[in-house]
Protein backbone atom coordinates (compact mmCIF):
# COMPACT_ATOMS: atom_id res chain seq x y z
CA UNK A 1 0.00 0.00 0.00
CA UNK A 2 1.06 3.56 -0.60
CA UNK A 3 1.74 6.17 2.01
CA UNK A 4 0.12 9.60 1.90
CA UNK A 5 3.28 11.11 0.40
CA UNK A 6 3.26 8.79 -2.61
CA UNK A 7 1.49 9.49 -5.88
CA UNK A 8 -1.95 7.93 -6.37
CA UNK A 9 -2.69 8.96 -9.96
CA UNK A 10 -0.65 8.96 -13.15
CA UNK A 11 -1.82 10.32 -16.50
CA UNK A 12 -0.40 8.20 -19.32
CA UNK A 13 -0.62 8.39 -23.11
CA UNK A 14 0.14 6.15 -26.08
CA UNK A 15 0.97 7.52 -29.53
CA UNK A 16 0.07 5.04 -32.29
CA UNK A 17 1.32 6.04 -35.73
CA UNK A 18 3.12 4.91 -38.87
CA UNK A 19 6.87 5.44 -38.57
CA UNK A 20 8.09 7.40 -41.60
CA UNK A 21 10.86 6.50 -44.02
CA UNK A 22 12.61 9.74 -43.14
CA UNK A 23 13.89 10.12 -39.54
CA UNK A 24 13.21 13.85 -39.60
CA UNK A 25 9.54 13.22 -40.40
CA UNK A 26 9.30 10.64 -37.61
CA UNK A 27 10.58 13.26 -35.16
CA UNK A 28 7.96 15.74 -36.39
CA UNK A 29 5.22 13.16 -35.78
CA UNK A 30 6.51 12.35 -32.30
CA UNK A 31 6.76 16.03 -31.39
CA UNK A 32 3.14 16.57 -32.40
CA UNK A 33 1.96 13.69 -30.23
CA UNK A 34 4.15 14.84 -27.33
CA UNK A 35 2.62 18.31 -27.57
CA UNK A 36 -0.92 16.94 -27.56
CA UNK A 37 -0.23 14.43 -24.76
CA UNK A 38 1.34 17.10 -22.56
CA UNK A 39 -1.64 19.37 -23.19
CA UNK A 40 -3.86 16.58 -21.80
CA UNK A 41 -1.70 16.40 -18.67
CA UNK A 42 0.12 13.16 -19.53
CA UNK A 43 3.37 12.52 -17.68
CA UNK A 44 4.55 9.69 -19.92
CA UNK A 45 4.14 9.03 -23.63
CA UNK A 46 4.67 5.51 -24.96
CA UNK A 47 5.81 5.24 -28.59
CA UNK A 48 6.15 2.28 -31.02
CA UNK A 49 9.14 0.05 -31.66
CA UNK A 50 11.77 1.05 -34.23
CA UNK A 51 11.15 4.79 -34.26
CA UNK A 52 13.89 6.04 -36.55
CA UNK A 53 12.63 4.82 -39.93
CA UNK A 54 10.43 2.11 -41.47
CA UNK A 55 9.37 1.08 -44.95
CA UNK A 56 6.32 -1.17 -45.05
CA UNK A 57 7.25 -4.79 -45.64
CA UNK A 58 11.03 -4.27 -45.79
CA UNK A 59 12.21 -6.01 -42.61
CA UNK A 60 15.77 -4.75 -43.04
CA UNK A 61 14.90 -1.06 -43.49
CA UNK A 62 14.75 -0.14 -39.80
CA UNK A 63 18.06 -1.87 -39.01
CA UNK A 64 19.70 -0.28 -42.05
CA UNK A 65 18.86 3.17 -40.66
CA UNK A 66 20.31 2.56 -37.19
CA UNK A 67 22.12 5.44 -35.53
CA UNK A 68 24.36 5.75 -32.47
CA UNK A 69 22.77 6.82 -29.20
CA UNK A 70 24.49 10.20 -29.56
CA UNK A 71 23.23 10.58 -33.15
CA UNK A 72 20.73 13.11 -34.48
CA UNK A 73 17.57 11.06 -33.94
CA UNK A 74 18.05 10.38 -30.24
CA UNK A 75 19.21 13.98 -29.82
CA UNK A 76 15.89 14.99 -31.37
CA UNK A 77 13.98 12.82 -28.89
CA UNK A 78 15.87 14.46 -26.03
CA UNK A 79 14.90 17.89 -27.33
CA UNK A 80 11.23 16.90 -27.58
CA UNK A 81 11.21 15.49 -24.05
CA UNK A 82 12.72 18.65 -22.60
CA UNK A 83 10.54 21.01 -24.65
CA UNK A 84 7.26 19.21 -23.93
CA UNK A 85 8.00 18.29 -20.31
CA UNK A 86 7.06 14.63 -20.80
CA UNK A 87 8.83 11.28 -20.40
CA UNK A 88 9.21 9.51 -23.76
CA UNK A 89 9.42 5.71 -24.08
CA UNK A 90 10.04 3.68 -27.23
CA UNK A 91 12.74 1.81 -29.12
CA UNK A 92 15.38 2.77 -31.65
CA UNK A 93 17.86 0.69 -33.62
CA UNK A 94 21.39 1.51 -32.51
CA UNK A 95 24.40 0.97 -34.73
CA UNK A 96 27.32 -1.11 -33.36
CA UNK A 97 30.53 0.68 -32.43
CA UNK A 98 32.92 1.29 -35.29
CA UNK A 99 35.13 -1.74 -35.83
CA UNK A 100 32.90 -4.12 -33.85
CA UNK A 101 33.19 -7.79 -34.83
CA UNK A 102 29.41 -8.24 -34.76
CA UNK A 103 27.85 -5.94 -37.37
CA UNK A 104 24.29 -6.45 -36.14
CA UNK A 105 22.45 -3.52 -34.57
CA UNK A 106 20.77 -3.39 -31.15
CA UNK A 107 17.06 -2.74 -30.63
CA UNK A 108 17.21 -0.39 -27.65
CA UNK A 109 14.28 0.71 -25.51
CA UNK A 110 14.87 4.27 -24.32
CA UNK A 111 13.35 6.16 -21.42
CA UNK A 112 14.00 9.88 -21.91
CA UNK A 113 13.04 12.46 -19.32
CA UNK A 114 13.97 16.14 -19.13
CA UNK A 115 16.16 15.84 -22.20
CA UNK A 116 18.25 12.97 -20.78
CA UNK A 117 18.29 9.20 -21.20
CA UNK A 118 17.40 7.78 -17.78
CA UNK A 119 17.21 4.09 -18.74
CA UNK A 120 18.01 1.76 -21.65
CA UNK A 121 17.11 -1.84 -22.39
CA UNK A 122 18.34 -4.03 -25.24
CA UNK A 123 15.56 -6.28 -26.54
CA UNK A 124 15.94 -9.68 -24.94
CA UNK A 125 13.70 -11.88 -27.12
CA UNK A 126 14.21 -11.46 -30.85
CA UNK A 127 11.40 -12.15 -33.30
CA UNK A 128 12.56 -15.39 -34.88
CA UNK A 129 9.04 -16.68 -35.53
CA UNK A 130 6.28 -16.74 -38.16
CA UNK A 131 8.94 -16.92 -40.92
CA UNK A 132 10.73 -13.78 -39.63
CA UNK A 133 14.30 -13.77 -38.32
CA UNK A 134 15.08 -10.59 -36.43
CA UNK A 135 18.33 -12.10 -35.13
CA UNK A 136 19.80 -11.90 -38.64
CA UNK A 137 20.17 -8.13 -38.25
CA UNK A 138 19.68 -7.49 -34.52
CA UNK A 139 21.84 -8.61 -31.60
CA UNK A 140 19.97 -9.79 -28.51
CA UNK A 141 20.34 -8.16 -25.13
CA UNK A 142 21.44 -10.21 -22.13
CA UNK A 143 19.79 -8.49 -19.14
CA UNK A 144 16.26 -8.32 -17.79
CA UNK A 145 14.49 -5.02 -18.49
CA UNK A 146 14.67 -2.20 -15.94
CA UNK A 147 12.09 -0.41 -13.84
CA UNK A 148 12.01 3.39 -13.77
CA UNK A 149 10.29 5.80 -11.39
CA UNK A 150 7.75 8.25 -12.82
CA UNK A 151 6.05 10.43 -10.24
CA UNK A 152 6.29 7.70 -7.62
CA UNK A 153 5.08 4.94 -9.96
CA UNK A 154 7.33 1.98 -10.79
CA UNK A 155 7.22 1.44 -14.55
CA UNK A 156 8.79 -1.64 -16.16
CA UNK A 157 9.54 -1.88 -19.87
CA UNK A 158 9.35 -4.61 -22.51
CA UNK A 159 9.73 -4.75 -26.30
CA UNK A 160 7.27 -6.43 -28.68
CA UNK A 161 8.05 -10.20 -28.78
CA UNK A 162 8.92 -10.04 -25.06
CA UNK A 163 5.18 -10.07 -24.36
CA UNK A 164 5.03 -13.74 -25.43
CA UNK A 165 7.36 -14.63 -22.54
CA UNK A 166 5.37 -14.29 -19.30
CA UNK A 167 8.47 -14.69 -17.16
CA UNK A 168 9.73 -11.34 -18.45
CA UNK A 169 6.63 -9.51 -17.23
CA UNK A 170 6.63 -11.52 -14.01
CA UNK A 171 10.23 -10.47 -13.33
CA UNK A 172 9.09 -6.85 -13.50
CA UNK A 173 6.12 -7.45 -11.21
CA UNK A 174 8.12 -9.23 -8.52
CA UNK A 175 10.63 -6.37 -8.62
CA UNK A 176 7.82 -3.95 -7.83
CA UNK A 177 6.41 -2.72 -11.15
CA UNK A 178 3.00 -1.03 -10.92
CA UNK A 179 2.89 -0.58 -14.71
CA UNK A 180 4.41 -2.53 -17.61
CA UNK A 181 4.82 -0.75 -20.94
CA UNK A 182 5.29 -2.61 -24.22
CA UNK A 183 6.73 -0.88 -27.31
CA UNK A 184 6.00 -2.95 -30.40
CA UNK A 185 5.69 -3.26 -34.15
CA UNK A 186 3.26 -6.20 -34.09
CA UNK A 187 3.06 -7.83 -37.50
CA UNK A 188 -0.33 -8.52 -39.09
CA UNK A 189 -1.34 -12.10 -39.88
CA UNK A 190 -3.71 -14.92 -39.05
CA UNK A 191 -4.73 -14.69 -35.37
CA UNK A 192 -2.02 -12.08 -34.69
CA UNK A 193 -4.45 -9.39 -33.52
CA UNK A 194 -6.08 -11.97 -31.27
CA UNK A 195 -2.69 -12.96 -29.83
CA UNK A 196 -1.80 -9.30 -29.16
CA UNK A 197 -5.03 -8.57 -27.33
CA UNK A 198 -5.02 -11.83 -25.40
CA UNK A 199 -1.44 -11.58 -24.19
CA UNK A 200 -1.41 -7.90 -23.28
CA UNK A 201 -4.51 -8.47 -21.14
CA UNK A 202 -3.01 -11.62 -19.65
CA UNK A 203 0.22 -9.87 -18.69
CA UNK A 204 -1.84 -7.26 -16.82
CA UNK A 205 -4.14 -9.69 -15.04
CA UNK A 206 -1.58 -12.32 -14.04
CA UNK A 207 0.67 -9.61 -12.57
CA UNK A 208 -2.11 -7.36 -11.20
CA UNK A 209 -0.57 -4.29 -12.80
CA UNK A 210 -1.45 -1.81 -15.52
CA UNK A 211 -0.21 -2.62 -19.04
CA UNK A 212 0.34 0.04 -21.69
CA UNK A 213 0.92 -1.58 -25.08
CA UNK A 214 1.78 0.43 -28.21
CA UNK A 215 2.14 -1.04 -31.70
CA UNK A 216 3.13 0.77 -34.86
CA UNK A 217 0.26 0.88 -37.34
CA UNK A 218 0.58 0.50 -41.10
CA UNK A 219 0.34 -1.94 -43.96
CA UNK A 220 2.53 -4.41 -42.07
CA UNK A 221 1.72 -3.77 -38.40
CA UNK A 222 -1.60 -3.97 -36.59
CA UNK A 223 -1.86 -0.92 -34.34
CA UNK A 224 -4.54 -1.83 -31.76
CA UNK A 225 -2.60 -0.03 -29.01
CA UNK A 226 -4.26 -0.34 -25.61
CA UNK A 227 -4.25 0.53 -21.93
CA UNK A 228 -5.32 -2.28 -19.60
CA UNK A 229 -6.22 -2.29 -15.90
CA UNK A 230 -4.69 -4.60 -13.25
CA UNK A 231 -7.71 -6.91 -13.60
CA UNK A 232 -7.62 -7.06 -17.39
CA UNK A 233 -10.16 -4.37 -18.28
CA UNK A 234 -9.40 -2.39 -21.45
CA UNK A 235 -9.48 1.28 -20.45
CA UNK A 236 -8.55 2.74 -23.84
CA UNK A 237 -7.88 1.21 -27.26
CA UNK A 238 -6.84 2.43 -30.69
CA UNK A 239 -7.96 1.04 -34.03
CA UNK A 240 -6.01 -0.96 -36.58
CA UNK A 241 -5.96 1.54 -39.46
CA UNK A 242 -4.95 5.02 -38.30
CA UNK A 243 -2.68 7.19 -36.20
CA UNK A 244 -4.20 7.93 -32.82
CA UNK A 245 -3.44 9.23 -29.33
CA UNK A 246 -5.06 7.37 -26.45
CA UNK A 247 -4.87 8.33 -22.78
CA UNK A 248 -5.94 7.07 -19.38
CA UNK A 249 -5.59 8.15 -15.78
CA UNK A 250 -3.98 5.31 -13.81
CA UNK A 251 -5.11 4.97 -10.19
CA UNK A 252 -2.83 3.26 -7.71
CA UNK A 253 -5.83 2.29 -5.63
CA UNK A 254 -6.73 -0.08 -8.49
CA UNK A 255 -3.33 -1.76 -8.18
CA UNK A 256 -3.60 -2.01 -4.39
CA UNK A 257 -7.14 -3.40 -4.56
CA UNK A 258 -6.25 -5.97 -7.23
CA UNK A 259 -3.24 -7.19 -5.26
CA UNK A 260 -5.27 -7.42 -2.06
CA UNK A 261 -8.23 -9.30 -3.55
CA UNK A 262 -6.20 -11.37 -6.04
CA UNK A 263 -2.82 -11.86 -4.31
CA UNK A 264 -1.22 -14.00 -7.03
CA UNK A 265 2.21 -12.44 -6.48
CA UNK A 266 2.29 -13.28 -2.77
CA UNK A 267 0.58 -16.67 -3.28
CA UNK A 268 3.28 -18.01 -5.61
CA UNK A 269 4.57 -21.38 -4.37
CA UNK A 270 7.80 -21.37 -6.36
CA UNK A 271 9.95 -18.36 -7.12
CA UNK A 272 12.78 -18.28 -9.65
CA UNK A 273 15.61 -16.17 -8.13
CA UNK A 274 16.82 -15.34 -11.63
CA UNK A 275 13.66 -13.30 -12.21
CA UNK A 276 14.80 -10.88 -9.55
The b-or-e profile of 250-275 (16+ CB within 10 A means b, else e) is bebebbbebbeeeeebeeeeeeeeee
- DSSP output for 27-94: HHHHHHHHHHHHHTT-SEEE--SS-S---TT-TTHHHHT-B-TTSHHHHHHHHHHHHHT-EEEEEEEE
Given 78, 123, 139, 154, the catalytic residue:
123
Note if 160 is an active site residue: yes
Cα–Cα dist 129/55, whole Å = 20
Does 154 participate in catalysis according to the annotation?
A: no
214 is catalytic: no
User: Pick the catalytic residue: 78, 134, 154, 160?
Assistant: 160
Residues annotated as catalytic are 49, 123, 160
Amino acid sequence: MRGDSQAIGLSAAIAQFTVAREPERSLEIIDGFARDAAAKGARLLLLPEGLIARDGDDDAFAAAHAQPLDGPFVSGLKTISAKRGITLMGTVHVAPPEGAEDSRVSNVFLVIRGGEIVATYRKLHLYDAFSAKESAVVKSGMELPPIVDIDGWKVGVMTCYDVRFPETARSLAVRGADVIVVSAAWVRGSLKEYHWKLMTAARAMENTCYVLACSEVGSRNIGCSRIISPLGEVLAEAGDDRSELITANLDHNAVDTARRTLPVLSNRRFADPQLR
